[in-house]
Amino acid sequence: MVIIDLLSAAADAAPQNSFGIKDALFPHGKPNYIGLATFIILAVMSFGSFFILFTKWIEQSKLMKQYTDLRTSFWRAPSLREGAAKLEKNSAWRQLVEDGLQAEDNHGKMTDSMEAHDWLHGSLARSESSINARLASGLPFLATVGATAPFIGLFGTVVGIYGALINIGISGSASIDKVAGPVGEALIMTALGLLVAVPAVLAYNYLQSRNKRIAEQLSSFSTDVLANINSKGTIKPAVAVAAAKPAAAPAAAVKK
């Protein structure tokens, strides 16, 4: 019992070190300005990454849903102009159709011998490129966060360890309780950098894969629009043609 009481008294008398984000930013109650600046930068990066993730995901989901409805409902219209009028304003799909129709109108005003197919194909390709560029906006920020956040956190750690070593040298004591606290607080910055970088990289890869899928859909729809314009409305996608066909009449009863 005496030994247990002595151990308890020694534990109570030993200095209690806490290792948390508050201790890293405000060691001994004083602000660590470099640590605070590093934390603020990482916080802004994290907020921006999640903001881009959710906003781009909503935008992509809307485009994908529109394409699913577009495959059948749009091509049931008598003409491209009437079908475009039924699409949502500022929609990427409506932009493609309107750019194709405008290119068709402008081709009649041209005085050179450029073929209509080449002119329409180039106009639709430019429209696709502008849509893909708009979808890719924000992704460079995610790539930048994923690449630089660990180094920003590492910078905070290096500066924190440097300050801790200076304080240890001034105090003249290199005991474990003097070293563990400051070094542990500095390493928190590296952990924060990784915590910000990993979600940004995952979000970038996820959104990039969905953009590639949308780019394939845009290319497919652009090809269908080009074929429809060049054929004066005769050629339509096979899915739309199948949906437009009426149900087959029941077979006549076999006479006995």
Residue 254 gets which letter from DSSP?
P
pLDDT, tens digit (0-9, with 9 covering 90-100), for 127-167: 999 999 999 999 999 999 999 999 999 988 888 788 777 77
Provide the domain count of the chain: 1
Answer for the pair 153, 194: CB distance below 8 angstroms, yes or no: yes
Could you list the residue range(s) of the whole structural domain that residue 215 is in?
A: 18-237
* Cα distances (angstroms) measured from residue 52 to each of 45, 59, 203: 11, 10, 9
pLDDT, tens digit (0-9, with 9 covering 90-100), for 26-67: 666 677 777 788 889 999 999 999 999 999 999 999 999 999
Residue 253 maps to a domain: no
| C-alpha span between 38 and 158 (Å, rounded) | 12
Residue 58 maps to a domain: yes
Answer for the pair 200, 33: CB distance below 8 angstroms, yes or no: no
Residue 7 maps to a domain: no
Residue 247 maps to a domain: no
pTM score > 0.85 for this model?
A: no
pLDDT, tens digit (0-9, with 9 covering 90-100), for 227-249: 888 888 787 877 555 555 554 44
